[in-house]
Amino acid sequence: MVDQIAPAVGESTVDVLEYLGITVNFLDDQTCCGQPAFNSGFRSEALPVATRFIELFERVEGPIVVPSGSCAAMVRNYYGDLFRDDTNLVERAKRVGERLYELTEFISHFFGTKAIAGRLDNSATYHKCCHLLREIGVEEQPLEMLFQVEGLEMTPLERADVCCGFGGAFSVKMPDISSAILDEKLDYIEATKANMVIAADTGCVYQMQGGLRRRGSDVQVVHIAEVLSKSIKNVGRAESSE
Amino acid sequence: MKPLTVNFRSKAAETLQDAQIQQSIEHVYTGFFKGRLEAAGDTPEWEELRTKGKAIKDHTIAHLDYYLGQLADNVEKNGGSVFFAEDAAEARKHIIDLAHKREIKTVIKSKSMVSEEMGLAEAMNDEGFETIETDLGEYIIQLAGETPYHLIAPAVHKSRTDVAKLLDDDFKEGDPVPDATELTMMAREKLRGVFERADMSVTGVNFAVAESGSIALVTNEGNGRMSTTVPRVHVAVMGMEKIIPSIQDLSTMLRILIRSATGQRISTYVTMVNGKRKPDEEEGPEEFHLVIMNNGRQKLLADPQMRESLNCIRCGACLNACPVYRKVGGHAYGWVYPGPIGAIVTPVLTGLKDASNLPNASSLCGACHDACPVKINIPRMLLELRYRTAEGSSDIEERTSGAKERGIWKAWRIGMMGRKRFDWAARLSRIVLLPIARNGWLKKTPPPISGWTSTRDFPLTASKSLKSRLSSRAKKAK
Amino acid sequence: MADRATFIATVTASLGRSEVLAPPSDTATAAFDDTATAKSNAEQAMATASERSSELAERMAEAAAVIGWKVHRVANQEDAANVIASICEQKSATSVLRSTHEVLTQVGVDAAVTNTGASIGTTEHSGENSSDLVDQSKTAAFKADIGITGVDYAIAETGTVVLHPRSGLSRLVSLAPPTHIAVLRPGEVLESLDELFAMERNDFSSGELAGSMNLISGPSKTADIEGTTVTGIHGPLEAHLIILKYD
């Protein structure tokens, strides 16, 4: 999803990691972790895709960073189920999973939530994406990072931890239910009067943005990687113009 | 109760359009969900309690055969009788036969989900016994001829006007609507006489203690106490998983059950009875009967992927946490158990084929797992059932996915198995959709994602993939 | 028709076994605690209740008020009797039932109630085991305006009064009348549910488990209509807790 629909999120992720002094190696051959098929129940289709993911990332060393709590949850929490008939793969998946971090988790774990000092003049609210929150267990760190961004006025979002209704294939299979959940979320978003909603998973970003657009709202939904990347660039620009 | 799981989509759609229900059901979030969070927050050892509760249930379920035997022995030792019912029909028949034999006239029922599985109140009324639900919510539902909407708040979808119409024969549309206190007092007046004349009670069981043959009932209203005190015959019905080994385990289980259900530290009443009236007691039933029902639970027990669902203590916390339940309501689930727990147990108990929409009706947000007092990993089990509906898993009979859907996922897999194909497929989608896109968004999309654009805009594939953006960035850097 | 053996055999088979095995000792449950452990847990609970009696009574008062008990802290037995009399007057009670808890005699509850013009009675007929007597006392309980009891224990954690129905303490006296008054003495308050169930476990393992037990936490409640909490559905509409203090 990031690769083909939201490459800017991927590139922003690279920006942020490079800002922290990390050499980023993007594996050109990568496609998907297999979650869409797995979550839809098609495990025999997910299995080779997930195996391919493991094989690819076994060939490189070091931490693996993904700008998605959902993909991280798939690898860390659900590969065990997907591979359950193959103990060898379960073990290998576990080892890859131990090296894999969601972006904000990675930054806060290795660099702290104050490592990025950027500037972005805007008003925003933050939606807590479900898988990052409940599968990975990251709740306050992204907010702490956003509070560090100078000029960014953060407004709390009512029921920020309630799902936006995305749920992958669920959003297409049962669009009326998915949208009813989304509507509630959008009402709370609009009530904040913020210009921007920040979230950490592209699925949720597009669910909310797609719904806001349909409502005719100007509120922008932005991935946290993009916010951080922009805030760093703003500071860089300011410094170079001085 | 006959399963109507097959109607999930139409029932859900109906509820989504019902503004009154949408408003009423908010209470499960603003009242119960928030109450649970506050209660958990006030309990410093909350996570330890959940871990302990899970350990107690894991242990019991792993030795359920032993504890069933021990429980039955001890109930009998206390002077009660035990009936093992393989299914709902057997249980129903046993209770009705007993009522006939004892020449019962009035039966008071205390809330019990297991008795809903049996459709007991209706069946007993049909047999000529005056059978009255005494939990206020259940009473309202019985008057309305409906089934419970929620595990602990059966009438949560009813407005005061609805209730007034049911409780007050003189109430007409347009009359001033009585407040909740007035309505509650109406019900109190109606039910008091019933309590006084009841000669049989049917209650559920929150926990059955194997070592002592005791049962514990948790209520706020006092109907559970009335039911275990006034009638001369007390019948308690339970699903076979409701056991805990020791009396002392009750302190853990009561704490997590009550906090999770309503956010209270304790319910108004917790009643423990060890069978019938003891010789030194002033009153109490002359007879105590415990009905232990299987009704398909052995399928959950025998299924290593689903066994954990038998740890459920029916607190309703997963319903309150669930964004889907809060939109589609309790009746959409089509059987006794609504919400996330229903979505995992109903398909196994009543048949996955008709219930295939239940495990799919979830955004997998994990709020149910988070809320569960015994940490049942509901999302994991939803995924397991999806696997069975999609591919048949070990039993092809359970497969309900269509050839088209299977074809799509096959194509997806082919596309994901090589980077070139992956890029090619993405480029192709852009070429096809570009003419109908505006500013990078689509108002309409073709199947299989047409459902998305019925309510939301869909993003167009980007002009360049991340891979190609990063490689041009690398070139620039050089 | 399922019999016990067939039913349990199905369960055994579902567990993947061919015979019922006794579970190995597991710290998950208290079921494997021996009699000595149960005894020492119970003694510990009682020791805490008496050593920290005034602190626990204080916590009980606070917790009870939160869940809807009308709490009356009184300095002595005379004041307790006065509170009871004033509740009787306020309710225009004509018929009052009470248990045979010792504290009620100490307080002089009979005189306090009869001085207001109400009648007071008690049930103590268990030895006779006559269903007529049971019926009579049932009718009396449903007609009574007020039921008065002591407490067997109280629980500071939750604001709960614990009663073990027995001869002289009917199940209905704290349930059927629209007003319940419970009188508590210091030293009767346990710290938490843990201590209560430790005592119960000890009663069980020493073969002295009571026939039934009621945990009562304030007046009867329901929130089944639009989530609005209403006090008094099937049980008492009002619950008073009188906490005696000895100087």
Interface test with C, best of B243, B247, B271, B299 (most C CBs within 10 A): B247
Q: How many CA atoms are closer than 13 Å to the CA of A151, on its beta-carbon side?
A: 13
The vertex-B65 CA angle with B62 and B71, nearest 5°, equals 110
Q: With an 8 Å Cβ cutoff, are B279 and C129 in contact? A: yes
Determine the Cα–Cα distance for residues B33 and B314; give it in Å rounded to an integer: 15
Q: Where are the beta strands (DSSP E) in B267-423?
A: 269-273, 287-293
Structure tokens, B458: 């869909």
Mean pLDDT to the nearest integer, A77-95: 98
Determine the Cα–Cα distance for residues B147 and B337; give it in Å rounded to an integer: 10
Instruction: Return the residue of A nearest to B472 by Cα.
Output: A11
Q: With an 8 Å Cβ cutoff, are C175 and B229 in contact? A: yes
Q: Between A34, A163, A213, which is nearest B363 by CB?
A: A163
pLDDT of residue B36: 96
3-state secondary structure B93-128: HHHHHHHHHCCCCEEEECCCHHHHHHCHHHHHHHCC
Q: Are residues B266 and B366 in the same domain?
A: no
Please determine, for residue A241, whether its predicted confidence score (pLDDT) is greater than 60.
no
Q: Between B65, B280, B283, which is nearest C11 by CB?
A: B65
CATH 1.20.120 fits A114-241, yes or no: no
List Cβ neighbours of B335 (8 Å cut-off, separation of 6 or more).
Answer: B1, B3, B4, B5, B342, B346, B349, B350, B355
In a domain, B451, yes or no: yes
* Neighbour count for residue B268 (Cβ, 10 Å): 28
Q: Provide the shortest C-alpha distance from residue A54 to chain B (in Å).
A: 13
DSSP 8-class letter at B335: S
Handedness of CA B391, B393, B395, B398 (dihedral sign): negative
Q: With an 8 Å Cβ cutoff, are A176 and B362 in contact? A: no
pLDDT of residue C126: 56
Chain C from 98 to 127: CB within 8 A of any B CB: 123-127
In a domain, B254, yes or no: yes
Q: Provide the shortest C-alpha distance from residue A147 to chain B (in Å).
A: 25
Kindly report, residue by residue over A133-167, the tens digit of the pLDDT: 999 999 999 999 999 999 999 999 999 999 999 99
Q: B359 lies in which domain range?
A: 306-398
Query: What pairs with residue B132 in β-bridges?
Result: B108
| φ and ψ at residue C123, rounded to 5 degrees | -110, 130
> Considering B271, B295, B319, which residue would you say is the last residue of a domain?
B295
Determine the Cα–Cα distance for residues B360 and C113; give it in Å rounded to an integer: 64
Q: How many CA atoms are closer than 13 Å to the CA of B101, on its beta-carbon side?
A: 8
Classify C61 as helix, strand or coil. Answer: helix
Question: Is chain C touching chain B, with at least 3 CB–CB pairs below 8 Å?
Answer: yes
**Are the C-beta atoms of residues A75 and A33 closer than 8 Å to each other?**
yes
Kind of pairing between the strands at A196-199 and A220-223? parallel
Q: Amino acid identity of B333?
A: Y
Determine the Cα–Cα distance for residues B243 and B246; give it in Å rounded to an integer: 9
Determine the Cα–Cα distance for residues B218 and B314; give it in Å rounded to an integer: 12
Question: Which of B187, B226, B179 lies closest to B203 in space, CA to CA?
Answer: B226
Give residue A81's Cα distance to chain centre. Answer: 22
3-state secondary structure C165-189: CECCECCCCCCCCCEEEEEECCCCE
**Is B424 part of the contact surface with chain A (CB cutoff 8 Å)?**
no
Interface test with B, best of A32, A166, A176 (most B CBs within 10 A): A176
Classify B333 as helix, strand or coil. Answer: helix
> Considering B267, B295, B323, which residue would you say is the last residue of a domain?
B295
Please determine, for residue C147, whether its predicted confidence score (pLDDT) is greater than 60.
yes
Structure tokens, A109: 């774990």
Cα-based distances in Å from B35 to A88, B186, B320, B321, B328 = 45, 27, 10, 11, 22
Cis? peptide before B448, omega within 30° of 0: yes
Q: Are residues B176 and B321 in the same domain?
A: no
- Sequential pLDDT tens for chain B (478 residues): 899 999 999 999 999 999 999 999 999 999 999 999 999 999 999 999 999 999 999 999 999 999 999 999 999 999 999 999 999 999 999 999 999 999 999 999 999 999 999 999 999 999 999 999 999 999 999 999 999 999 999 999 999 999 999 999 899 988 999 999 999 999 999 999 999 999 999 999 999 999 999 999 999 999 999 999 999 999 999 999 999 999 999 999 999 999 999 999 999 999 999 999 998 888 899 999 999 999 999 999 999 999 999 999 999 999 999 999 999 999 999 999 999 999 999 999 999 999 999 999 999 999 999 999 999 999 999 999 999 999 997 788 899 999 999 999 999 999 999 999 999 999 999 999 999 999 999 999 998 899 999 999 999 999 999 999 999 998 988 7
> Considering B268, B295, B322, which residue would you say is the last residue of a domain?
B295
**Are the C-beta atoms of residues A15 and A229 closer than 8 Å to each other?**
yes
Q: Provide the shortest C-alpha distance from residue C247 to chain B (in Å).
A: 31
In a domain, B63, yes or no: yes
Q: With an 8 Å Cβ cutoff, are C165 and B284 in contact? A: yes
Q: Amino acid identity of A122?
A: N
The vertex-B11 CA angle with B5 and B15, nearest 5°, equals 140
Contacts of B152 in chain C (CB under 8 A): none
Determine the Cα–Cα distance for residues A201 and A132; give it in Å rounded to an integer: 8
Q: Amino acid identity of A33?
A: C
Please determine, for residue A239, whether its predicted confidence score (pLDDT) is greater than 70.
no
Query: What pairs with residue C163 in β-bridges?
Result: C214
Q: Amino acid identity of A221?
A: V
B153-182 per-residue burial string, b: 16 or more CB within 10 A, e: under 16: bbbbbbbbebbbbbbeeebeeeeeebebee
**Is A67 part of the contact surface with chain B (CB cutoff 8 Å)?**
no
In a domain, B35, yes or no: no
Give me the helix-helix angle, B403-416 and A43-58, nearest 10°: 10
Average model confidence (pLDDT) for chain A?
96
What is the pTM assigned to this prediction? 0.96
Distance in Å from the first CA to the final CA of chain C: 65
Determine the Cα–Cα distance for residues A28 and A57; give it in Å rounded to an integer: 11
Question: Which of B143, B141, B89, B98 lies closest to B117 in space, CA to CA?
Answer: B89
Q: How many CA atoms are closer than 13 Å to the CA of C128, on its beta-carbon side?
A: 10
Average model confidence (pLDDT) for chain C?
94
Number of domains, chain C: 1
Q: Amino acid identity of B77?
A: K
CATH of the domain at B259: 3.40.50.10420
In a domain, B335, yes or no: yes
Q: With an 8 Å Cβ cutoff, are A180 and B16 in contact? A: yes
| φ and ψ at residue A164, rounded to 5 degrees | -90, -5
H/E segment holding residue B410: helix B403-416
Phi-psi region of B220 (alpha: psi -120 to 50; beta: other; left: phi over 0): alpha
**Are the C-beta atoms of residues C32 and C24 closer than 8 Å to each other?**
no
CA torsion C145-C149-C155-C159 (nearest 10°) is 20
Q: Are residues B313 and B290 in the same domain?
A: no
Number of domains, chain B: 3
Contacts of B388 in chain A (CB under 8 A): 41
Classify B32 as helix, strand or coil. Answer: helix
Tokens 């978003």 belong to which residue? A189
Structure tokens, A6: 């939201």
| φ and ψ at residue C17, rounded to 5 degrees | -120, 165
Interface test with B, best of C4, C21, C29 (most B CBs within 10 A): C29
**Are the C-beta atoms of residues A211 and B456 closer than 8 Å to each other?**
yes
| φ and ψ at residue C243, rounded to 5 degrees | -105, 115
In a domain, C23, yes or no: no
Contacts of A29 in chain B (CB under 8 A): 419
Mean pLDDT to the nearest integer, A210-234: 97
Q: Provide the shortest C-alpha distance from residue B403 to chain C (in Å).
A: 34
**Are the C-beta atoms of residues B36 and B258 closer than 8 Å to each other?**
no
Give me the helix-helix angle, A7-19 and A103-110, nearest 10°: 10
Contacts of B417 in chain A (CB under 8 A): 31, 48-49, 52
Q: Provide the residue ranges of all domains of chain A, joining segments of one domain with +.
A: 7-108, 114-241
Contacts of C175 in chain B (CB under 8 A): 222, 225-226, 229
Mean pLDDT to the nearest integer, A198-217: 98
Q: C203 lies in which domain range?
A: 54-244
Structure tokens, C192: 């938490």
The vertex-B274 CA angle with B270 and B280, nearest 5°, equals 105
CA torsion B440-B443-B449-B454 (nearest 10°) is 150
Q: With an 8 Å Cβ cutoff, are C233 and B136 in contact? A: yes
pLDDT of residue B397: 87
Question: Which of B134, B98, B143 lies closest to B226 in space, CA to CA?
Answer: B134
Q: Where are the beta strands (DSSP E) in chain C?
A: 70-74, 95-98, 119-122, 146-149, 153-155, 160-163, 179-184, 189-190, 212-216, 221-222, 230-231, 238-244
CATH of the domain at C105: 3.40.50.10420
**Is A40 part of the contact surface with chain B (CB cutoff 8 Å)?**
yes
**Are the C-beta atoms of residues B445 and A175 closer than 8 Å to each other?**
no
Determine the Cα–Cα distance for residues B437 and B440; give it in Å rounded to an integer: 6
**Is A135 part of the contact surface with chain B (CB cutoff 8 Å)?**
yes
Q: With an 8 Å Cβ cutoff, are C28 and B211 in contact? A: no
Contacts of C45 in chain B (CB under 8 A): none
Question: Is chain A touching chain B, with at least 3 CB–CB pairs below 8 Å?
Answer: yes
Instruction: Return the residue of C nearest to B87 by Cα.
Output: C2
Classify B17 as helix, strand or coil. Answer: coil
Please determine, for residue A238, whether its predicted confidence score (pLDDT) is greater than 90.
no
Q: How many CA atoms are closer than 13 Å to the CA of B250, on its beta-carbon side?
A: 31
Contacts of B151 in chain C (CB under 8 A): none
Give residue C4's Cα distance to chain centre. Answer: 35
